């Protein structure tokens, strides 16, 4: 193995992220090559070990207090946030085909109901027109017959029948 | 990170504050440490920790145990911290150089008074600041949190070769910076 080839894999070698064959080859090269050995030591000292020695940090107690206070202040709006989630789920892509079918059914029912209403209204109008004509004719006929009765001096058709 | 029991997660997901506090106690140092290393600012790290736990409180009910809770929590933390870093960088870019300089100086003075940093802490902070946020996330997850390349790829939702590249470039940069510093010192 050449030095430049070895140095390409030094970081992964130090992390134990190379396969066994490459690991053994680098190990053998580093043990024989002082320059690559120094390079590996430098990499570890300058770019790896300070991080590995870093201690875990702890947040101040104020952070938990703020989290708790925020959750408590949102207590009333919990329901509304659930409603938002519910609405989001309802209008999600998964449900969109069902919503489309439901919308089509609603439109269809509305059209049929509207058409039936128009037909019924037309039938009533026709009936009322016919009724008006009939009443007009009836009034005309009555007027003519009463004129005839007056002319013949009989009070009613019954008198006319018996007395004539 | 220690394993969190399914029972605690399930109870916390129903809004049980005692279980949620237990979850916070068990995991907050991991969340805060990662946030601090990525943002490199104590105040920002605290805000990130707060945001992460509020997101956790809201979304725990959707966690179905199909993936590792640890991976999920680290993913939320890294993403929230990276968003914070970008926002902070944009905010800083809007300010004048004078303001920025004064603020940074003030922060350094304040933090030195408030916290006793040992040498390694200062060194780690400087090294992390030298890296870009993407390289920083990989270095933090690998060298501080001890994740494998595959685990880092899962947490960050990136290809494992991208993890290799980011780590290698980040470490090369640190070695180059060290050499340059030594050379400047010698001159």
Sign, CA torsion B170/B174/B176/B180: positive
B157: region left, alpha or beta (phi > 0 left; psi from -120 to 50 alpha)? left
Tokens of A41: 């030591």
Does the pTM of the predicted model rise above 0.80?
no
pLDDT at A128: 87
Question: What CA–CA distances, in Å, run from A1 to A4, A27, A44, B45?
Answer: 9, 11, 21, 45
B3 touches chain A (CB under 8 A): no
Q: Are B78 and B33 in contact (CB under 8 A)?
A: no
pLDDT at A83: 55
Question: What CA–CA distances, in Å, run from A111 to A100, A117, A118?
Answer: 17, 10, 11
Sign, CA torsion B144/B145/B146/B147: negative
Nearest-CA distance from A89 to chain B in Å?
Answer: 12
For residue A131, pLDDT over 50 is answered with: yes
Per CB-CB distance under 8 Å, the chain A contacts of B50 are 63, 66-67, 70
A-chain residue closest to B54, CA distance: A67
Nearest to A12 among B21, B29, B164 (CB): B164
Tokens of B96: 């004048």
Nearest to A48 among B21, B143, B149 (CB): B143
B130 touches chain A (CB under 8 A): no
Average pLDDT over chain B, rounded to whole? 83
d(CA B156, CA A101): 40
Helix spans in chain B (H): 6-13, 17-39, 42-59, 69-94, 97-114, 119-130, 133-139, 149-156, 160-186
For B91-115, what is each residue's pLDDT tens digit?
Answer: 766 655 545 544 554 444 444 444 4
How many residues are present in chain A? Answer: 164
Q: Which stretch of A3-12, B3-12, B94-103 has the lowest confidence by average pLDDT?
A: B94-103
d(CA B59, CA B72): 11
């Amino acid at each position: 193995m050449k030095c430049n080839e070895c140095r390409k894999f030094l970081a992964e070698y130090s992390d134990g992220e190379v396969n066994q064959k490459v690991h053994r080859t680098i190990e053998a090269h580093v043990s024989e090559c002082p320059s690559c050995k120094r390079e590996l030591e430098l990499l570890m000292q300058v770019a790896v070990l300070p991080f590995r020695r870093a201690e875990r940090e702890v947040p101040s107690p104020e952070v938990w207090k703020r989290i708790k206070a925020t959750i408590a202040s949102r207590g009333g709006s919990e329901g509304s946030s659930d409603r938002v989630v519910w609405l989001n789920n309802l209008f999600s892509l998964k449900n969109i085909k069902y919503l489309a079918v439901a919308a089509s059914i609603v439109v269809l029912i509305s059209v049929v109901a509207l058409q039936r209403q128009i037909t019924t209204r037309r039938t009533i109008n026709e009936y009322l027109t016919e009724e008006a004509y009939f009443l007009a004719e009836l009034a005309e006929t009555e007027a003519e017959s009463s004129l005839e009765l007056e002319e013949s001096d009989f009070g009613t058709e019954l008198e006319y029948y018996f007395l004539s | 990170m220690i394993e969190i029991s399914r029972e605690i997660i399930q109870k916390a997901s129903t809004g049980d504050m005692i279980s949620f506090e237990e979850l916070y106690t068990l995991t907050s140092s991991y969340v805060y440490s990662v946030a601090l290393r990525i943002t490199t600012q104590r105040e920002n790290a605290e805000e990130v920790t707060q945001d992460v736990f509020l997101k956790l409180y809201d979304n725990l009910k959707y966690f179905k145990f199909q993936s590792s809770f640890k991976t999920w929590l680290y993913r939320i933390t890294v993403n929230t911290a990276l968003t914070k870093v970008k926002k902070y960088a944009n905010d800083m870019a809007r300010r004048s150089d004078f303001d920025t300089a004064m603020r940074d100086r003030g922060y350094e003075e304040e933090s030195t008074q408030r916290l006793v940093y040992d040498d390694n802490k200062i060194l780690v902070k400087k090294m992390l600041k030298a890296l870009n946020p993407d390289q920083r996330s990989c270095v933090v997850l690998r060298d501080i949190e001890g994740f494998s390349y595959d685990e880092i790829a899962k947490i960050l939702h990136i290809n494992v070769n991208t993890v290799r590249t980011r780590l290698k470039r980040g470490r090369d940069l640190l070695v180059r910076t060290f050499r340059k510093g030594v050379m400047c010192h010698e001159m």
